[in-house]
Amino acid sequence: MAQHLLSKYSGNVPRYTSYPTAPHFHEEIGPSTYATWLGALGARDTVSLYIHIPYCDRLCWFCACHTKQTQKYEPVRAYLDALYREIETVGARVSPEALVTALHLGGGSPTMLAPEDMIELKARLASAFTFSPDAEISVEMDPNDLDGPRYDALAAIGMTRASLGVQDFTDKVQQAINRIQTFSQTRSVVEEVRKRGVRSLNCDIVYGLPHQTMETLAETIDDIIYLNPDRIALFGYAHVPWMKKHQTMIDESSLPGPEMRYRLMNRAGGMLREAGYIPIGIDHFARPGDPLAVAMQEGRLTRNFQGYTDEGATALIGLGASSIGKLPQGYVQNNPATGVYQKQALSGELTTVRGVAFSEDDLLRAYVIERLMCDYQLSFADLSARFGAVAGTILAEAQSMVAADSDGHIALVGDRLVVADEAKPFVRSIAAGFDAYLNRGLGRHSAAV
């Protein structure tokens, strides 16, 4: 069964953290369009902010993020000056009645910021935007950056969720991906943030890494369970050396093949379920009662560039080099070239270089793909209520897909399209059947599992 599923579904497909996906953004969407979209946000809108810090003091070879290594703080300091100016420029175009309900600091390594700069960054944001008193503030953390003053600064900015990248605790794996991080370091971070009142902890684990075995991954999972995080993200390593040249430092012969990746994923997921975690979509787990688990149970789970979320904000505003934002009208992306971004931001310009405006068909298919990715099913009654007669297009496509699927991996049950349990790990491939852009030849993607 496993081999058949792999041969059928394990091709490379998008992760569907957006639709249309990023390879289909284009340069016709620029600063003037973005300014108009920002100006349309008002009192009925809520905003999630994403801040990108594109620097690390070491470069992990497995990483596919937009970042660069620096051993000096001067480039980071200069970048912050540009970021502060962008915050002013964007904030001036957003109505003060639009309420910020979430802030996410990502990278790169935002915890490499000096304590006083963490506090200054939050102050600049609070000056430019209106924050809800109970806004969620999450920060991606590298244990190698952290010390007492930084922990105190994170508490001072009101961090509510700490997100720890673990990947794997095995020495040989860590050496192969240039990510040295001991269990004792990680445990210390958990203790320090909890001591300062952080009420939610997320840990990231990666399967499919070089030299990873069933035994070594199981040891890492045991260690993570001991730390008792509220949420766990279990990602498959995306080997994309054509996009990220530093991944060529990884010996491809040491990477597990498709069948081993599938076995690693199942072993890790099984251990987490046995420990009481509830599976959320394709790659997240949460403790019962966690807002993510509650959102899934209530049908409110959504998906964006940070993965699965319960936020539900009207708009995602991305700030910093390469950041992507989503507004009701479409997607926008900032200039990914850090130096050029800084010049544009310091001049008071919006740094948008590309994006896409949603068509009616985009909105329809985005909703279809998101519901499959979040719920493993799609209600045609719901689709018709939201989109009217055009929902019939999706129903016809679904009927054709079911008729062509002799294995019963998808089925029409009443008014719903339902993904069978054994095919759920491959829902990206099933969702891809509704992607009108996929065969246009743009972009290369990672393995489905």
Q: Is the pLDDT of residue 296 over 80?
A: yes
Residue type, 34: Y
| Residue range 9-55, pLDDT digits in tens | 867 889 999 999 999 999 999 999 999 999 999 999 999 999 999 99
Q: Please tell me the distance from the alpha carbon of residue 104 to that of residue 50, in angstroms, as a whole number.
A: 5
Shared-domain flag, residues 205 and 255: yes
Same domain, 341 and 403: no
Distance CA 10, CA 214 (A): 20
Q: Is residue 346 part of a domain?
A: yes
Q: Domain check: are 279 and 394 in the same one?
A: no
The domain spanning residue 296 has which CATH number?
3.80.30.20
What pLDDT is stored for residue 448 in this prediction?
55
Considering the domain architecture, whether residues 271 and 369 belong to the same structural domain is answered as no
Tell me which H or E stretch contains 302.
strand 302-304
End position of a domain, from candidates 357, 372, 393: 357
Beta bridge partners of 231: 202, 286
- Structural domain count of the chain: 2
Mean of the pLDDT values across residues 201-210?
A: 96
pLDDT value of position 63: 85
Helix (H) or strand (E) holding 296: helix 291-297
Query: How far apart are the C-alpha atoms of 94 and 41, rounded to whole Å?
Result: 6
**Per-residue pLDDT averaged across 152-176, rounded?**
96
370, 302 in Cβ contact below 8 A? yes
Q: What mean pLDDT is predicted for residues 72-82?
A: 97
Residues 238 and 298 in one domain: yes
Parallel, antiparallel or unpaired: strands 315-319 and 46-53 = parallel
Report long-range pairs for 255-260 (Cβ below 8 Å, ≥24 apart): 255/208, 255/209, 255/210, 256/208, 256/212, 258/6, 258/10, 258/447, 258/449, 259/2, 259/3, 259/6
Q: Are 448 and 12 in contact (CB under 8 A)?
A: yes
Asked whether residue 448 is assigned to any structural domain, the reply reads: no
47: number of Cβ within 10 Å: 27
Q: Are residues 314 and 390 in the same domain?
A: no
For the residues 103-109, what does the mean pLDDT come to?
95
325 shares its domain with 412: no
Instruction: Look at the block and give the residue holding tokens 């050396």.
Output: 241
Tokens of 19: 């639709």
Yes or no: say if 183 and 169 are a contact pair by the CB < 8 Å rule.
Answer: yes
Confidence of residue 142 (pLDDT cuts 50, 70, 90): very high
Phi, psi for residue 165 in degrees, rounded to 5: -80, 120
pLDDT of residue 240: 85
pLDDT digits (tens, 9 = 90+) for 225-282: 999 999 999 999 988 888 888 888 899 999 999 999 999 999 999 999 999 999 999 9
Convert the pLDDT of each residue in 348-376 to its tens digit.
999 999 999 999 999 999 999 999 999 99
pLDDT value, residue 61: 82
Give the CATH number for residue 403. Answer: 1.10.10.920
Contact of 112 with 145, CB cutoff 8 Å: yes
Last residue of a domain, one of 339, 357, 375: 357
Nearest to 282 by CA among 419, 124, 424: 424
Beta bridge partners of 100: 47, 131
Residues 341 and 364 occupy one common structural domain: no
Q: Considering the domain boundaries, does residue 445 fall inside one? A: no
Tens digit of pLDDT for each residue in 190-199?
999 999 999 8
Query: What is the domain extent for residue 377?
Result: 360-438
Domain boundary among 321, 338, 357: 357
Does some domain include residue 425? yes
Domain assignment present for 1: no
Beta strands 330-334; 324-327: pairing state: antiparallel
444 pLDDT above the threshold of 70: no
Whether residue 446 lies inside any domain: the answer is no
- Report the relative pairing of strands 130-141 and 99-107 from DSSP bridges: parallel
In a domain, 447, yes or no: no
- What does the mean pLDDT of the chain come to? 94
Query: Is position 121 within any domain?
Result: yes
Residue 280 shares a structural domain with residue 297 = yes
**Does residue 292 sit in the same domain as residue 422?**
no
Residue 175 pLDDT class (50, 70, 90 cuts): very high
- Whether residues 278 and 425 share a domain: the answer is no
Q: How confident is the model at residue 410 (pLDDT cuts 50, 70, 90)?
A: very high
User: What pTM does this model have?
Assistant: 0.93
What angle in degrees, to the nearest 10, is found between the helix axes of 115-128 and 148-156? 10
**Are 216 and 153 within one domain?**
yes
Specify the pLDDT at position 194: 96
- In a 13 Å sphere around the CA of 367, the CA atoms on its Cβ side amount to 21
Distance separating alpha carbons of residues 305 and 319, to the nearest angstrom = 13
